[in-house]
Structure 1
Amino acid sequence: MKIEIRELTKDYSSCRALDNISITFDEGIHGLLGPNGAGKTTFIRILSTLLPKTSGEVYYNNIKVENKKEIRRIVGYLPQEFSFYPNFTVYETLDYFASLSNINLSKKVALNRLEIVNLQDLWKVKTKALSGGMKRRLGIAVAIVGDPEVLIVDEPTAGLDPEERIRVRNMLSQFGKTKTVLLSTHIVEDIALSCKSLSILNKGRLVYNGTVKDVIKNAEGYVWDLTVDFEKYEQYMDKYNVISSIVDGNKVSLRLLSKEKPSINAFAASPTLEDAYMRLIKEV
């Protein structure tokens, strides 16, 4: 499935949430990264037919996004915030959401969807008894209940413990082997470990679109490590974009962004995706 976005713009009154976005997605997992307020949720809600655009074009294999009935048959969407009826069982929840989409769900297919998200043994359990991670996995099962060609997920690992985050990432990776997955998040690690390509939004603008490898390469020469006396710590915080700081007694180890070498004692560091992302967001 190919998704083409051409000059997509969204205005809210006097505020421009998306500014002339053009991207193309195909099979695999594609990351959408950006700080809160960057326009990520607006972007994916337009792609999910839940929000009208102001201008521009969005196509799914030449089908316009305005054809909501057709698009919703091929797109599964997991929002950041969702809820279930607490007294419904896992199976009843899946069956209920399938009926809302006019999907005649057999028990065999329902258990297959639950097996994909590793909830098949809990099909009789009420949703109020599920942990946060289990509810997130059930949300994914709901999103893929109709076997969509495209899966759009908004912050799927937010609030999960490390083990559940890994589980969810692995599930999305499996789905992305044959489908198109758009993963919107502010968690850099999720992108680094699962996505074949990356798009970064900031203040409604597309500031990067390409591979994870290339964006990291673009940050070479901008990332520095150094250790300073504690009393000089605030001077560096005021002057530079500090990515991390570790206090050890009267010394502070800093990792920061700078076009120039910030100190004679600083040495160039190999950038990570988080470093590269911060460089774009802070416009260093």
Structure 2
Amino acid sequence: MKIQIKELEKYYGANKILDRINLTFDEGIHGLLGPNGAGKTTLIRILSTLLSKTSGEIYYDNLKVDNKEEIRKIIGYLPQEFSFYPNFTVYETLDYFASLSNIKLNKKEILDRLEIVHLQDIYKAKTKTLSGGMKRRLGIAVAMVGNPEVLIVDEPTAGLDPEERIRVRNMLSDFGKTKTVLLSTHIAQDIQLSCKSLSILNKGKLIYSGTVKEIIKEAEGYVWNLNVDFGDSEQYMDKYNVISSITDEDKISLRILSKEKPSLNANNISPTLEDAYMKLIKEV
């Protein structure tokens, strides 16, 4: 499945939320990154047919996004905020949402889908007893219930512990081997570890579209590690873009983003996607 976005714009009144977005997604998992208010959620809601565009075109292969009924047959969508009936079991929840989509599943088919998200062993548990990570996985199962060609997920790992984040990432990566997955998040590490391509929005504009490797390469030579005494850290924080600071007794280890070497004692280190992202946002 190929998704093409051409000259997409979205206004709320006089406010331009998306400004002439041009993107193409094909098979695999693609990341969508940007600060709060960048337009990420607006974009994926338009792609999910939940919000109308102001102008431009979106195609799923040769099918226009305006054909909502047909588009909804081939996509699955997991919003950032969702809820289930608390007294429904995991099994009943998946069965219920399948029915809403006019999909008839027998018990084996439901359990097979729950096995994909590692919930088959607790299919009798009520949703109100599930952890946050389990609810996210159930949400993914609901989004995938119709075996969609495209899966669109908004902040799927937000608020999860490290183990659950890894599990959700792995599930999305597996799905992306044969389908198209669009992952919108503010967690750069999730994109670095799972996505083949990346698009970055800022204030409604597309400021980067390419591979994760390419943008990280652009930050090479800009990231420094510097260990300073506790009392000396403030001068560097005032003068430089400090990505992180880790305290170790009377020393502080600073991760600094700078074109110039911030100190004779600073060491140049390999950048991460988060470093590259911060560099790009600061430049814009």
Give me the TM-score of the superposition, normalised by structure 2: 0.96
Deviations 1:106-154 (A, max 9, x none): 2222121111111112222211111111111110110000000000001
Deviates more, 1:222-231 or 1:119-128: 222-231
Tell me, yes or no, if the aligned pair for 1:244 and 1:254 is still in contact at 8 Å: yes
Tell me the CA shift for residue 170 of structure 1.
0.9
1:233 partner SS? helix
Q: How does 1:19-98 map to 2 (within 5 A)?
A: 19-98=19-98
2:184 partner SS? strand
Deviations 1:21-70 (A, max 9, x none): 11100001111111222111111001000011111111100111010001
Deviates more, 1:262-271 or 1:36-45: 262-271
Give the match for residue 144 of structure 2.
Answer: 144
| Matches of 2:3 and 2:179, distance apart in 1 | 12
Q: How does 1:189-208 map to 2 (within 5 A)?
A: 189-208=189-208
| Identity percentage of aligned residues | 80
Tell me the CA shift for residue 250 of structure 1.
4.0
| Matches of 1:249 and 1:123, distance apart in 2 | 48
| Matches of 1:141 and 1:216, distance apart in 2 | 33
Letter in 1 for 2:3: I
1:151 partner SS? strand
1:118 partner SS? coil
User: RMSD of the alignment, in Å?
Assistant: 1.4
Deviates more, 1:106-115 or 1:195-204: 106-115
| Matches of 1:90 and 1:246, distance apart in 2 | 42
Give the match for residue 222 of structure 1.
Answer: 222
Tell me the CA shift for residue 89 of structure 1.
1.1
| Matches of 1:162 and 1:253, distance apart in 2 | 23
Gaps of 5+ in 2: none
Deviates more, 1:17-26 or 1:260-269: 260-269
Tell me, yes or no, if the aligned pair for 1:31 and 1:195 is still in contact at 8 Å: yes
Letter in 1 for 2:76: G
Number of residue-to-residue matches in the alignment = 284
Letter in 1 for 2:272: T
Letter in 2 for 1:144: M
Verify: 1:118 aligned to 2:128, yes or no.
no
Gaps of 5+ in 1: none
| Matches of 1:121 and 1:235, distance apart in 2 | 55
Tell me the CA shift for residue 264 of structure 1.
2.9
Tell me, yes or no, if the aligned pair for 1:152 and 1:182 is still in contact at 8 Å: yes
Verify: 1:242 aligned to 2:242, yes or no.
yes
Verify: 1:135 aligned to 2:132, yes or no.
no
Letter in 1 for 2:61: N
